[in-house]
């Protein structure tokens, strides 16, 4: 059969008897069966062509209607509807509309058609001014003309909006208005359910309008009117075909070929996405007040999350389409995510999906969220914290049922990490001012060869681990001076209470994919829990060094000491200790990682921890004595600082650093008073002007006033880039901050430079040799420890110095009793009444007597496990203690007065160790 033109073919079908006439014989009967079959096959073939050309003809009609609609958008953008009070933002008659040229209007008309934007009805003042404008009204009810013309007409054609596969802010408001008129929100609920349960639809929704380049405008418009018209028709018909013929795949098709495909993402900044976040927030604000609509978001999220998790886990969807990140941005803007309805199913599933995001996507999400306000960051933190807390308190976690195995808690923690780094990025960052690494590497232990022979490798040989998100973002937590919200809000106390730290530390060291360790997210752990993890790490390293020593003794046939033994004289403690430590540091630094064992010459105390505590206390008292001259003491701040003109050599400062590291390594608290800048410098940051606030507040205030001075600095203050200091003997020393600084006046223009260089000299350059030696000694002990990974500078201070808050009521609550005493015993009640009546200094004496240190441990006195044991009946003997185990041996004195007198004498004159 030859090809027929559509009109002729339709005519022949209608007049079928003329083209294929029936054939009858003289009897009026049909011819043979063969003739019947031939006739039927011909009819079927013609019907197939009829269906094809009917569809073809229908598409022609749609193209014509689409052309009229695009033209109508074009005239609306260039001429307007004529209504001076028009509120349509895409109408030239509306107030505040930015006029555009014809090329831009043509491109925008195409975009408005694709997103089904609002069309204005022609105002009576515009009737008859544009023929195409009027003509398009006749086609408004066609297949391609389902635009906002008349709500009743729209309802009759698209009652359920089945052709809406993605949403814009305008489309949501349009459907909402229609539903509001009929007081039936079921169509909107169905649209939300369809779009928000589809990854493709959600990724395509709420896109930001992107300005087009000149090249894009030329390619879209063409060089002549005919070509331009053809392109408009083709684009219109393509959009229509996708909407009607393939609703399931339309979003993904537009995603790859439309206005916001992968090429557009490449043009975005690292902290930008193609979704219009403000529009999403406005839509949520309008819709979440309706309970039925809110339920649609909840149900859609339950359906969406498993599919997203599958896409990210197996299909590598983000690498193919970075716009996939829009999905998480849109969902996280839902302010009701932390409500109880979401906590059971929806939010856990979504967190599991979000935790599968690749590293690059996590970093981009953190960069985007870093621009959010503190309130918005806090809302997201509360969302994930609510889920973690809910799961922890609703389950019974123990050593057999680990919280590490709860997928929801683990996933929420991984999601919280993204918000944590957004909080860091959005805060006050100082990515510069980093300390240079030590030029001389810390010598390796001579035991390395034996470990290699045993088939082992030294742990963390490459140094402490670094979080991969930090590496991707190019920042460190220590770079943040002040986060958007305080770091403490990221700590989850219920999680810390149920966490089995010994198991978690094992997972941290093994680093398997099947077991998650919360130590990889230290922001969620409190200092007490992190300190416990550090304790396990130190103890295991001590046991490892001990095991290696035993193996050496077997191989070499000689007895070696498995401990770091220090035998010192009480009256020569500095000379004996520092000389011994210096020899160890030079011969074999690995011995510093052995368990410390201190013995005072002439005393019978056995070191189970208590002797070491007193040793450190005495060493610190001697080292920080201002008469020695290694450190200066500020009476106003009660803080020590390195003496830039000290006569001691660098080796002495190295040994001080070793002592500080050994105290941490052996879980001892020191009475050390450094400004915070010292701990920041230990963590790799240089001191800056802001660090002078606590290191030297008087100088800080003076420099601050200099920066804020409103007059002429040069004429009124007459200062130069030369500063003066005093040496150890009080003699003035001059220093030029710049070459020939005495000839360079400080002016309003260069005063910031003067302040920065002044602070640089005071905190860094003037003590560079002393501090580098000090840090080198500290790292000799802690270089393989996760200390730097787990703790922030302020937590390092807490770790070394303990808590300054002495809450003896908390100590009373946690104290245990033995030997016949209990909480209700007479002597125990009198003991606590007596202790609470002591002054601050007497209380510190009591702590020193009982525990070996006058500072509270990390977490306060409530974390100190003290035991009071009965030590016989009434007697004249003094109370005694086992400082290694925090045990107070208290006789049952006959009266409260005798108890007070005996206790005060014991704690006031307690020094040394002996066998009673």
Q: How far apart are CA 169 and CA 185, in angstroms?
A: 17
Residue that the structure tokens 């009109």 belong to: 7
Sign of CA pseudo-dihedral 688, 693, 699, 705: positive
- Cβ proximity of 780 and 441 under 8 Å: no
Question: In the chain, what is the straight-line distance between the N-terminal and C-terminal CA atoms, in Å?
Answer: 121
Element (H, E) at 882: strand 880-882
Phi then psi for residue 478, to 5 deg, are -70, -10
List beta partners, residue 395. Answer: none
The candidate with the shortest Cα–Cα distance to 442, out of 87, 837, 783, is: 783
Catalytic residue list contains 884:
yes
28-32: which pairs have CB atoms within 8 A and are 24 or more residues apart? none
Sign of CA pseudo-dihedral 207, 208, 209, 212: negative
Q: Where are the alpha helices (DSSP H) in 666-750?
A: 676-682, 692-695, 697-708, 713-717
Sign of CA pseudo-dihedral 30, 31, 36, 39: negative
Q: How far apart are CA 553 and CA 264, in angstroms?
A: 67
- Cβ proximity of 473 and 363 under 8 Å: yes
The candidate with the shortest Cα–Cα distance to 674, out of 640, 713, 718, is: 640
- Cβ proximity of 795 and 527 under 8 Å: yes
Buried/exposed code over 624-661 (b: 16+ C-beta within 10 A; e: otherwise): beeeeebbeeeeeeebbbbbbebeeeeebbbbbbbbbb
**How many CA atoms does the CB half-sphere of 518 hold within 13 Å?**
34
Tally of residues, the chain: 916
Rounded CA Rg of the chain:
40
Q: Calculate ∠ Cα 395-396-398, nearest 5°.
A: 135
Buried/exposed code over 765-804 (b: 16+ C-beta within 10 A; e: otherwise): ebbeebbbbbbbbbbbbbbbbbbbbbbbbebbbbbbbbbe
- Cβ proximity of 364 and 318 under 8 Å: no
Tell me the CA distances in angstroms from 328 to 304, 305, 423, 426, 494, one per residue in order.
11, 10, 18, 19, 27
- DSSP conformation letters of 111-170: HHHHTT---PPPPGGGTTS-HHHHHHHHTTTSTT--SSS-HHHHHHH-SS-TT--S--HH
Q: Which of 81, 310, 351, 884 is catalytic?
A: 884
Chain-centre distance for alpha carbon 281: 22
Residue ranges with strand state E in 505-638: 564-568, 596-600, 631-634
Residues catalogued as catalytic: 884
């Amino acid at each position: 059969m030859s090809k027929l033109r559509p009109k002729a073919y339709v005519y022949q079908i209608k007049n079928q008897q003329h083209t294929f006439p029936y054939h009858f014989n003289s009897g009026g009967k049909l011819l043979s069966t063969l003739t019947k079959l031939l006739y039927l096959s011909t009819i079927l073939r013609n019907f197939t062509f009829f269906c094809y050309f009917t569809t073809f003809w229908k598409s022609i009609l749609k193209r014509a209607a689409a052309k009229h609609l695009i033209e109508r958008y074009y005239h609306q953008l260039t001429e307007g509807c004529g209504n001076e009070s028009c509120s349509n933002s895409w109408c030239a008659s509306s107030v505040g509309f930015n006029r555009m040229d014809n090329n831009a209007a043509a491109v925008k008309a195409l975009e408005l058609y694709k997103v089904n934007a609002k069309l204005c009805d022609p105002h009576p003042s515009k009737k008859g001014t544009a023929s195409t404008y009027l003509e398009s009204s006749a086609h408004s009810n066609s297949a391609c003309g389902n635009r906002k013309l008349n709500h009743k007409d729209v309802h009759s054609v698209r009652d359920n909006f089945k052709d809406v596969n993605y949403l814009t802010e305008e489309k949501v408001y349009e459907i909402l208005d229609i539903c509001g008129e009929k007081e039936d929100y079921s169509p909107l609920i169905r649209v939300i359910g369809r779009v928000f349960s589809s990854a493709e639809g959600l990724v395509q929704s709420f896109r930001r309008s992107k300005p087009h380049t000149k090249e894009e405008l030329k390619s879209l418009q063409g060089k002549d009117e005919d070509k331009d018209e053809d392109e408009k028709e083709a684009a219109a018909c393509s959009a229509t075909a996708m909407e009607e013929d393939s609703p399931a795949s339309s979003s993904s098709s537009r995603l790859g070929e439309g206005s916001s495909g992968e090429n557009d993402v490449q043009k975005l900044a690292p902290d930008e996405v193609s979704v219009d976040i403000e529009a999403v927030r406005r839509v949520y604000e309008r819709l979440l007040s309706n309970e039925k609509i809110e339920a649609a978001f909840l149900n859609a999220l339950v359906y969406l999350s498993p599919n997203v998790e599958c896409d990210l886990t197996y299909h590598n969807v983000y690498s193919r389409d970075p716009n996939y990140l829009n999905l998480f941005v849109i969902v996280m803007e839902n302010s009701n995510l932390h409500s109880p309805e979401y906590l059971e199913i929806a939010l856990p599933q979504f967190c599991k999906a979000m935790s599968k995001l690749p590293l690059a996507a996590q970093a981009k999400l953190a960069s985007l969220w870093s621009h959010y306000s503190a309130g918005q960051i806090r809302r997201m933190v509360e969302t994930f914290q609510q889920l973690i807390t809910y799961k922890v308190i609703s389950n019974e976690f123990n050593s057999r049922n680990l919280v590490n195995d709860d997928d929801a808690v683990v996933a929420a923690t991984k999601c919280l990490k993204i918000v944590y780094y957004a909080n860091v990025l959005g805060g006050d960052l100082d990515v510069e001012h980093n300390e240079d690494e030590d030029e001389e590497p810390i010598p390796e232990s001579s035991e390395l060869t034996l470990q290699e022979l045993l088939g082992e490798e030294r742990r963390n040989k490459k140094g402490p681990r670094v979080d991969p998100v930090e590496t991707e973002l190019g920042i460190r937590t220590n770079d943040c001076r002040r986060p958007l919200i305080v770091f403490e809000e990221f700590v989850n106390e219920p999680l810390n209470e149920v966490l089995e730290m010994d198991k978690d530390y094992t997972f941290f060291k093994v680093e398997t994919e099947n077991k998650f360790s919360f130590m990889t997210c230290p922001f969620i752990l409190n200092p007490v829990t992190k300190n416990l993890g550090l304790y396990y790490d130190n103890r295991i390293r001590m046991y490892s060094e001990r095991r290696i020593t035993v193996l050496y003794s077997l191989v070499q046939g000689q007895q070696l000491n498995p401990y770091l033994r220090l035998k010192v004289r009480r009256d020569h403690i500095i000379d004996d200790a520092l000389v011994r430590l210096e020899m160890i540091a030079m011969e074999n630094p690995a011995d510093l990682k052995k368990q410390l064992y201190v013995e005072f010459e002439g005393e019978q105390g056995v070191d189970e921890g208590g002797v070491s505590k007193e040793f450190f206390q005495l060493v610190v008292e001697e080292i920080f004595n201002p008469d020695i001259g290694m450190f200066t003491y500020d009476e106003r701040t009660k803080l020590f600082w390195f003496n830039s003109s000290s006569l001691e050599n660098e080796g002495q400062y190295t040994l001080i650093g070793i002592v500080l590291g050994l105290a941490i390594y052996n879980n001892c608290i020191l009475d050390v008073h450094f400004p915070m800048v010292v701990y920041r410098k230990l963590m790799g940051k240089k001191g800056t002007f802001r660090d002078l606030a606590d290191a030297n507040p008087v100088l800080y205030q003076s420099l601050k006033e200099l920066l804020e001075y409103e007059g002429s600095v040069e004429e009124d203050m007459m200062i130069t880039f030369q500063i003066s200091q005093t040496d150890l003997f009080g003699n003035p020393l001059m220093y030029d901050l710049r070459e020939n600084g005495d000839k360079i006046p400080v002016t309003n223009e260069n005063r910031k430079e003067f302040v920065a260089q002044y602070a640089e000299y005071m905190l860094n350059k003037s003590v560079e040799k002393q501090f580098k030696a000090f840090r080198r000694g500290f790292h000799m002990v802690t270089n393989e420890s996760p200390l730097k990974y787990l703790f922030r500078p302020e937590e390092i201070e807490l770790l070394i110095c303990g808590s300054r808050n002495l809450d003896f009521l908390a100590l009373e609550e946690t104290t245990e009793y033995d030997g016949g005493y209990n909480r209700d015993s007479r002597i125990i009640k009198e003991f606590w009444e007596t202790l609470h009546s002591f002054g601050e200094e007497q209380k510190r004496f009591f702590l020193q007597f009982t525990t070996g240190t006058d500072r509270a441990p990390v977490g306060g006195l409530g974390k100190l496990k003290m035991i009071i044991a009965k030590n016989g009946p009434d007697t004249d003997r003094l109370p005694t203690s086992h400082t290694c185990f925090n045990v107070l041996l208290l006789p049952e004195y006959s009266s409260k007065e005798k108890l007070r007198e005996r206790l005060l004498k014991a704690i006031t004159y307690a020094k040394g160790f002996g066998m009673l």
